[in-house]
Amino acid sequence: MSERKVVDARDSFCPGPLMELIANIRLIEVGSELELLSKDKGSAEEVPAWLTKVGHQHISTEKRGDHWSIVVKRVK
């Protein structure tokens, strides 16, 4: 498996974590994982909801101090 790409969107008010995820997921290969870092509670909930809608996989969400780490897998 290729190295996991990390998208650090902790200081991103615009475009924000989910937009960063949408833009970056197309830059990784199918089957690879991406870790999104976000300080925004809203995206910790919104990201899994979006992944379900479009059919990518939500691997995990973990609270780490002041931010969340959300790991996703590109499925298609």
Binding site for another protein (CB under 8 A): 7-9, 11-20, 22-23, 26-27, 46, 49-50, 53-55
Beta carbon of residue 22, minimum distance to another protein (angstroms, whole number) = 5
**At its nearest, how many Å lie between another protein and the CB of residue 27?**
5
The least distance separating another protein from the CB of residue 43, rounded to whole angstroms, comes to: 9
Measured between alpha carbons, how far is 40 from 37 in angstroms, rounded to an integer?
Answer: 9
What phi, psi does 69 have (nearest 5°)? -110, 120
- For 46, residues 6+ apart whose C-beta sits below 8 A from its C-beta are 18
**Closest to 19 in 3D by CA, of 61, 63, 50, 60:** 50
Which positions are catalytic? 14
